[in-house]
A and B are shown apart, each in its own frame.
Chain A
Amino acid sequence: AQSVAQPEDQVNVAEGNPLTVKCTYSVSGNPYLFWYVQYPNRGLQFLLKYITGDNLVKGSYGFEAEFNKSQTSFHLKKPSALVSDSALYFCAVRDIAELIFGQGTELSVKP
């Protein structure tokens, strides 16, 4: 069965510093991986995806993610964090029709 894991419940960074939100996956076959962000009392917003091609995927709001097949990881990164990036981040893998989500990582960016 497909699954993703986000090992950190919370990540704290200072504004202007680089941020990384970790995700590892377990799939049979080719992985279709996604990152979504959820702001308080809002729905899930799509950030980026990896289907095939370059291992470094660029997405919305300056975020990028690196697909690493040998480490089965798909970490979300941003070179310089903003306070407005504070939110709940979900990694997901596609399994037939459905998205299977990780448990989420709360990102807190302090000024």
Chain B
Amino acid sequence: EPEVTQTPSHQVTQMGQEVILRCVPISNHLYFYWYRQILGQKVEFLVSFYNNEISEKSEIFDDQFSVERPDGSNFTLKIRSTKLEDSAMYFCASSPSRGLADSYEQYFGPGTRLTVT
């Protein structure tokens, strides 16, 4: 069964450094998402991406964050200058589309645990 993959599984970085989290969505999916989960808190939406541009983003997704689909398979989240409060589990998700009822669920990757020291 196809699945979303994410690398690395754990990333440790120093405050102020740039990090890039990588995701490979399911191959025939068209919509891509990033969420984060701070330890002990709920999962929060960051951004959605379709047709090579951001379609929606949350208040969390400020100028420090950017997303890119550099080729036909990878979907990346970049944090330009990490802060301590960026420490969280980051989940990538994908879905085939939004227009059909059967495709509304999003398929999540296993997550990247980001630790900012």
Contact = CB atoms under 8 A, between A and B. Distances in A.
Contacts of A103: 41-42
A22 interface: no
A102 to B, nearest CB: 7
Contacts of A44: 43, 91, 93, 108
Contact of B107 (A46, A49, A97, A98): A46
Interface string B32-48: 01010000011111001
Contacts of A74: none
Secondary structure type dominating chain A contacts = strand
Contacts of A97: 31, 33, 48, 50, 55-56, 98
A99 B37 CA distance: 13
A98 B108 contact: no
B25 interface: no
A98 B104 contact: no
B110 interface: yes
A103 B41 CA distance: 7
Contacts of A94: 104
Nearest to B4: A43
Contacts of B58: 98
Contacts of B35: 99
A90 interface: yes
A7 to B, nearest CB: 14
A55 to B, nearest CB: 16
Contacts of B109: 43
Interface of A: 32, 34, 36, 42-46, 49, 51-52, 90, 94, 96-104
Given A101-B42, A103-B41, 14 more contacts: A34-B104, A42-B110, A42-B111, A43-B4, A43-B91, A43-B110, A45-B108, A46-B106, A90-B42, A96-B56, A97-B33, A98-B48, A99-B43, A103-B42
